[in-house]
Amino acid sequence: MDNAVPPSSMTKWIAWLRKHPLFWLGPLAGGTAGIFNGGIIGAAAGLLLGYFVQVVASQFYMDTAVARYFENPGRSVFPEGEPGIAAYCGLGIYIMFKSKYKDDTLFTGRVSESAVSSFSKGVRVLPLIELFCRIAISRRAFLNPDLLAESLMARRRSRKDSPRLGEQLERLALGQEARREAAYIRQVLDPRYQPPDLDAPEEVLDPYLLLGLTPGASREMVKSAFRKLAVQYHPDVLQNMDEEKRKSAALAFIAVKEAYREIMRTFR
């Protein structure tokens, strides 16, 4: 009787190992080095050291990947627990900072609670939610609500629950500025939503010109142009300018953001 492992099971096991290299590369390297330096005892010590290094490396990789996602939302290369949770946490933290809350310690609790109640796997992935909130707070100066909202909508498209998520996010807002931003985010997630009593944005005479485009540009062209400008006006780029130039650049980016929002409304 053939007791070999069925090919299908072996294929799945190999695929899992390839998908999670940090789970075994560290202990394997440490154990191998330990064998050559101290036999069995050295191998055991090497395994433990390798596992410790692997845990630290995995956490560093995760933090870096999430931070990069918040700065330039796109395809996530880290586990979320459920599609869209990272974008939701980033948007929640952004709204909280626009609100009248003064105590930063409230942010993670409020947004985490909202995310847990908004996603079916929220309770099971609470540690991930808290991690996303923590990193979003540390990168709050770089959060881009327009691109985060687009990312959230794209990742939840198959579930068709973006309108509900937009409503949940809007409940986090406190104060006129926060409500205005939250209402815009909700409009991105639910084009049918009509916010009440919002200040109309200043008229943008030629939004395409501000983005360096011509009328009729595709949705992807508009998003690509806005991404490039968002990087150009990134705080890291502006930090070496004098205060007057930084203020001028900040005002210019506000005009660019309003132009982007005006054009994106035409696609909905």
Beta carbons of 86 and 144 less than 8 angstroms apart? no
Residue 54 has pLDDT above 60, yes or no: no
Residue 24 has pLDDT above 50, yes or no: no
C-alpha distance from residue 186 to each of 85, 100, 113, 168, 193 (Å) = 16, 19, 19, 9, 7
pTM, whole model, 2 decimals?
Answer: 0.67
pLDDT at residue 53, rounded to an integer: 53
User: Could you give the angle at which helices 243-265 and 176-189 cross, rounded to 10 degrees?
Assistant: 40
Tokens 């660019």 sit on residue: 256
Region of poorest pLDDT, from 46-50, 133-137, 188-192 = 46-50
DSSP-derived secondary structure letter, 175: S
- Using a 10 angstrom Cβ sphere, with 0-12 exposed, 13-18 middle and 19 or more buried, the burial of residue 246 is middle
- Using a 10 angstrom Cβ sphere, with 0-12 exposed, 13-18 middle and 19 or more buried, the burial of residue 221 is middle
Instruction: Tell me the pLDDT band of 252, cut-offs 50, 70 and 90.
Output: confident
pLDDT at residue 58, rounded to an integer: 66
The CATH code that applies to domain 203-268 is 1.10.287.110
